[in-house]
């Protein structure tokens, strides 16, 4: 079925007991030794780094993105599996997907239980990811977890500790894995991929601010004062806040800050329904509505737009394209 490169980055799938809790400790070869291999697959391992995923930085993620592109420069590679901590997996997978222009599949996976435990889910997830990487094409970046296949775009961690950790709350299941077979149920929609960005010496700061009852512009203004070049406002409902926050968003945009608007509601799109500080006013002030993308992936979209261009209008155009799910169904089995 092919030659698969496994890029190891740490996470629970590579974690062992450290005396007070678990932490990433094992290298990629140790992780691979825990899992059975699908038939006719050969494996190569790249040990990129080994960290708990809450500690990931933009520099880590951009290094991962460039490594994926470097691996795929070899035409003999048939697919990639990335082992990753679950806390920020949805961010890294979406970043890679935004820049993925190759028909070969990149599959992210991980575990909810540490390696070496009797009921560990890492080996099964890794087997499924290898099988998915070897048997699919043209689907962009995928997440294989708990016997299910998810598109990177829109998929978030929905369970803190349960084994079925990931889902896209706004869409139907993409695929499933069982009995040595991957079954795709629908095709993911993806916009045209972005070019590979340069590695900045200092990545742009992108902050996330959530609205709530009694919410005011203090934290949003503090982020701008701290040097944020991008902001994600997490609104209530369909993407709503207050007139005071609308004014703060307008002021931030006037200062060159790129602002995206999402919602704290698990499912459904940001929608321009309400005024008096609602999404109608926020979008009119210049915020870019992110559809069904939630805060972590909206932040990645803002980051990617900032890295793609120095022109403010072009950044807005790139952000609008990146948050849209409109695009061809890219499925070639």
CB neighbours (10 Å) of residue 93?
Answer: 30
Is position 190 within any domain? no
8, 157: one domain = yes
DSSP string covering 135-172: H-BSS-EEEEETTEEEESTT-EE--SSSS--EE-TTS-
Structure tokens at 281: 């006013």
Residues 6+ apart with CB under 8 A from 115: 13, 14, 15, 16, 26, 30, 31, 34, 122
Numbered residues of the known binding site for substrate: 53, 86-87
Is position 145 within any domain? yes
Is position 44 within any domain? yes
* pLDDT at residue 72, as a whole number: 98
Residues 6+ apart with CB under 8 A from 327: 189, 190, 191, 192
Is position 115 within any domain? yes
> What's the domain count of the chain?
2
Domain's final residue, options 129, 151, 184:
184
In the block, tokens 């609602």 appear at 278
Is position 171 within any domain? yes
Tell me: the pLDDT tens digits for 171-229?
Answer: 999 999 999 999 999 999 999 999 999 999 999 999 999 999 999 999 999 999 999 99
10, 118: one domain = yes
DSSP strands (E only) in the chain: 2-10, 15-17, 22-24, 41-51, 79-83, 106-109, 141-145, 148-151, 156-157, 166-167, 175-178, 181-184, 206-210, 230-235, 258-263, 288-289
132, 260: one domain = no
In angstroms, rounded to a whole number, what is the distance separating the alpha carbons of residues 129 and 109? 6
Q: If you count DSSP H runs as helices and E runs as strands, how many of each does the chain have, helices first? A: 9, 16
129, 234: one domain = no
281, 135: one domain = no
Domain's final residue, options 149, 184, 219:
184
20, 153: one domain = yes
User: What is the residue-level pLDDT of the chain in tens, covering all 333 positions?
Assistant: 699 999 999 999 999 999 999 999 999 999 999 999 999 999 999 999 999 999 999 999 999 999 999 999 999 999 999 999 999 999 999 999 999 999 999 999 999 999 989 999 999 999 999 999 999 999 999 999 999 999 999 999 999 999 999 999 999 999 999 999 999 999 999 999 999 999 999 999 999 999 999 999 999 999 999 999 999 999 999 999 999 999 999 999 999 999 999 999 999 999 999 999 999 999 999 999 999 999 999 999 999 999 999 999 999 999 999 998 754 443 433
Supply the range of the domain harboring residue 61.
2-184
27, 122: one domain = yes
Q: Does residue 72 sit in helix, strand or coil?
A: helix
In angstroms, rounded to a whole number, what is the distance separating the alpha carbons of residues 306 and 285? 19
Q: What is the Rg, in whole angstroms, of the alpha carbon atoms belonging to the chain?
A: 20
The CATH number of residue 304's host domain is 3.40.50.40
Which CA distances in Å does 75 have to 14, 104, 120, 131? 29, 10, 34, 19
Is position 179 within any domain? yes
Is position 332 within any domain? no
289, 177: one domain = no
In the block, tokens 């889910």 appear at 121
The CATH number of residue 107's host domain is 3.40.50.1170
* pLDDT at residue 1, as a whole number: 65
In angstroms, rounded to a whole number, what is the distance separating the alpha carbons of residues 111 and 104? 23
* pLDDT at residue 164, as a whole number: 96
* pLDDT at residue 152, as a whole number: 98
Structure tokens at 7: 């890029």
291, 157: one domain = no
* pLDDT at residue 333, as a whole number: 34
Q: Does residue 332 sit in helix, strand or coil?
A: coil
What angle is formed at CA 315 by the lines to CA 234 and CA 296, rounded to 5 degrees? 30
Active site residues: 12, 86
Domain's final residue, options 184, 217, 251:
184
223, 112: one domain = no
Is position 35 within any domain? yes
Tell me: the pLDDT tens digits for 6-38?
Answer: 999 999 999 999 999 999 999 999 999 999 999
């Amino acid at each position: 079925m092919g030659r698969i490169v496994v890029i190891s980055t740490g996470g629970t799938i590579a974690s062992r007991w450290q005396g007070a809790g678990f932490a990433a400790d094992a290298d990629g070869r140790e992780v691979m030794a825990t899992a059975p291999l699908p038939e006719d697959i050969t494996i190569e391992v790249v040990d990129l780094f080994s960290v708990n995923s809450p500690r990931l930085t933009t520099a880590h993620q951009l290094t991962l993105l460039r490594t994926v592109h470097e691996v795929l420069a070899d035409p003999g590679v048939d697919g990639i599996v990335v082992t990753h901590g679950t806390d920020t997996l949805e961010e890294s997978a979406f970043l890679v997907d935004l820049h993925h222009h190759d028909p070969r599949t990149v599959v992210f996976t991980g575990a909810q239980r540490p390696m070496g435990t009797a009921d560990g889910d890492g080996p099964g997830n890794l087997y499924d990811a290898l099988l998915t990487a070897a048997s699919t094409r043209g689907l962009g970046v995928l997440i294989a977890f708990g016997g299910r296949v998810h598109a990177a775009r829109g998929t978030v961690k929905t369970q803190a500790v349960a084994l079925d950790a990931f889902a896209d709350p706004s869409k139907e299941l993409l695929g499933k894995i069982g009995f040595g077979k991957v079954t795709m149920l629908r095709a993911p929609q993806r916009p045209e991929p972005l070019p590979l960005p340069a590695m900045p010496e200092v990545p742009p700061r992108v902050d996330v601010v959530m609205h709530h009852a009694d919410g005011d512009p203090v934290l949003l203004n503090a982020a701008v004062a701290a040097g944020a070049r991008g902001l994600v406002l997490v609104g209530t409902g369909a993407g709503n806040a207050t007139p005071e926050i609308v004014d703060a968003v307008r002021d931030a945009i006037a200062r060159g800050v790129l602002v995206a608007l999402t919602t704290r509601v698990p499912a459904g799109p940001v929608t321009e329904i309400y005024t008096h500080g609602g999404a109608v006013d926020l979008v009119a002030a210049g915020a870019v509505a992110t559809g069904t993308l939630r805060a972590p992936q909206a932040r990645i979209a803002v980051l990617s737009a900032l890295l793609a261009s120095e022109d403010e209008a072009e950044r807005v155009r790139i952000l609008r394209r990146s948050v849209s799910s409109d695009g061809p169904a890219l499925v070639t089995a």
